[in-house]
Amino acid sequence: MSLAVLISGGLDSAILLGDALRREDRVHPIYVRCGLAWEIVEFDYLRRYLDALRRPALAPLAILDQPVADVYGPHWSITGEGVPGANDPDEAVFLPGRNVLLLAKSLLWCHLHKVPTLALGSLGTNPFPDATPAFFTAFGALVNEAIAAHIKLNLPLVGLTKSAVMRLGLGLPLEHTFSCIRPIANIHCGQCNKCAERQKAFHDAAMTDPTAYAN
């Protein structure tokens, strides 16, 4: 079976991709490049992760450009200034319309490349309005209607806890994943909201954190 996986390089999507490679005949990683402040470093980690996973079932990385600076303006995700810290709530890292932007092109890519399913690593605990089951169902149906397609939008991790997802990642090269939104010298800063989330994920799953942090 052929499957596309929307991957950012973070833990959830990287684990989803690695787990898919254990059972699927062909897995197509898709990376959507939006021009966010951390993407150059994130993409370097993603390349290393894919190289570490290299096997016949892994298709070449598809890179889709979806720049958002013209819409987001001086948002912290573009400027790198005022990045939410470790003590800020998850709501502080909300990127408006993030999944709308990621899914529109990815679903179209699947249709044009005859890949029947697109999977993404959204968790059921995701608090954002564009990450609910209702949103995914409605948006997938809308895009399918627009292009007369039947691409399935799959959320394999939505019923799992973060710790259960982390345990799926046992044996995967998670040292090459990247979660930071304010990298310092090409490594995790150790102080932003996403670094705190990453540290907690390894701790709660009783797994050794292989990450190098600047602080």
Q: Which domains does the chain have, with CATH numbers?
A: 2-83+96-174 (3.40.50.620)
Total count of residues recorded for the chain: 215
- Write the pLDDT tens digit of every residue in 40-93: 999 999 999 999 999 999 999 999 999 999 999 999 999 999 999 999 988 899
Separation between Cα atoms, residue 180 and residue 8, nearest integer Å: 11
pTM, two decimal places: 0.96
CB neighbour burial string for 112-146, b if at least 16 within 10 angstroms, e if fewer: eeebebbbbbbbeebebebbbeebbeebbeebbee
Residue 17, both tokens: 């991709």
Q: Is 119 left (phi over 0), alpha (psi -120 to 50) or beta?
A: beta
Whether 135 and 21 have beta carbons less than 8 Å apart is answered as no
* pLDDT greater than 90 at residue 39: yes
**DSSP H helical ranges for 21-170:** 39-53, 69-72, 76-79, 98-112, 133-147, 162-168
Distance CA 180, CA 188 (A): 5
Query: Confidence band (pLDDT; 50, 70, 90) for 184?
Result: very high
**All residues at 6 or more sequence positions from 184 whose CB lies less than 8 Å from its CB, including other chains:** 214, 215
Give the Cα separation of 59 and 80 in Å (integer). Answer: 32
Looking at residue 11, what is its pLDDT? 97
Q: pLDDT class for 1, splitting at 50, 70, 90?
A: confident
Given a cut of 90, is residue 27 above it in pLDDT? yes
Give the 3-state secondary structure of residue 153.
strand
- Residues 91-146 pLDDT 10s: 899 999 999 999 999 999 999 999 999 999 998 777 789 999 899 999 999 999 99
Could you tell me which residues come within 8 angstroms of residue 141 by beta carbon, excluding any fewer than 6 positions away? none
Q: pLDDT at position 55, please?
A: 95
**Cα separation, 154 vs 28, whole angstroms:** 14
- Reported as a pLDDT band with limits 50, 70 and 90, residue 9 is confident
